[in-house]
Amino acid sequence: MKLSHYFLPYLAFLGIRTVANYFPGGLYWGYVIGYTSAALLLWIFRHKYQELQEGKISFSNILWALVVGLIGIVIWILPYHFISNFAQTDGIFGLITGQRKAANPYLLPRGLFFPFVLFRFIGYIFIVPIFEELFIRSFLWRYLIDSEIQSVPLGKYTTLAFWGTALLFSFSHNEWIVAFVYAVILNFFLVIKKDIRLCMIAHGTSNACLMGYVWMSGKWFLW
């Protein structure tokens, strides 16, 4: 399929992580294989992502992306920090799966601690923001407007594209409530700036900050 480069990295990671959870240790090795597979597919398809090959990003826009990412993750974290039972709303509308299992690297054998943390760090901050933004806010957003996505400018607003992608992003996260608010923030940012790379920078900033918070707070289920 001519648009498979947009959804294959996303589906590869999601599928591998889902299947791995049914096997011993899959909570951990599923991340490693998932990140590796997504990164490999992104590399193979790298020349197809025209939206990543635009001109240089201005310093001021990078700063805006950092600020948006920081604001977004603060909003994401606050309920979990101040409301002790907020995690009970995790899962599909809080009705089915419950909060996610905690991938706590301190529970791993000593020899696996560093390799897992390294893979998780690289994947969470640098790989996930790329394939999620490419799939959700570059491909799906424009596809909801016109199946010939190249004819649709990045960040073009329609009600279906804006709110549809926000809902999908929300449903794909256990923390669906804060994920929806976060998605709306990034969607507004895309509408204003029209550059998916800035969303990736904001997303990566958020993930880095969340990773730091989890390590300091011990709320491993958020990571």
Structural domains of the chain, count: 1
In this prediction, residues 47-64 reach a mean pLDDT of 93
pLDDT of res. 89: 59
Tell whether the model's pLDDT for residue 99 goes beyond 80: no
Q: What is the rounded CA–CA span in Å between residue 120 and residue 104?
A: 11
pLDDT of res. 25: 86
Range of the domain at 128: 59-222
Of 139, 136, 142, 130, the C-alpha closest to 200 is 130
In this prediction, residues 99-118 reach a mean pLDDT of 86
DSSP string, 131-159: HHHIIIIIIIHHHTT-SSGGGS-TT---H
The answer to whether 208 and 74 are in contact (CB under 8 A) is: no
Q: The pTM is what?
A: 0.91
Any domain includes 6: no
Of the chain, the percentage scoring pLDDT greater than 90 comes to 70
Tell whether the model's pLDDT for residue 87 goes beyond 80: no
Over the stretch 166-222, which tens digit does the pLDDT of each residue have? 999 998 888 888 999 999 999 999 999 999 999 999 999 999 999 999 999 988 888
Any domain includes 179: yes
Any domain includes 75: yes
Lowest mean pLDDT among 28-42, 84-98, 150-164: 84-98
Over the stretch 18-42, which tens digit does the pLDDT of each residue have? 898 888 888 899 999 999 999 999 9
For tokens 């948006």, the residue is 68
Reported as a pLDDT band with limits 50, 70 and 90, residue 64 is: very high
Tell me the C-alpha to C-alpha distance, in Å, between residue 173 and each of 2, 97, 103, 183: 27, 11, 15, 11
Any domain includes 132: yes
Any domain includes 154: yes
Any domain includes 49: no
Any domain includes 100: yes
Tell whether the model's pLDDT for residue 155 goes beyond 60: yes
Any domain includes 111: yes
Reported as a pLDDT band with limits 50, 70 and 90, residue 139 is: very high
In this prediction, residues 121-147 reach a mean pLDDT of 96
Cα torsion through 170, 171, 174, 177, rounded to 10: 40
pLDDT of res. 93: 44
pLDDT of res. 174: 80
How far, in whole angstroms, is CA 69 from its chain's centroid? 12
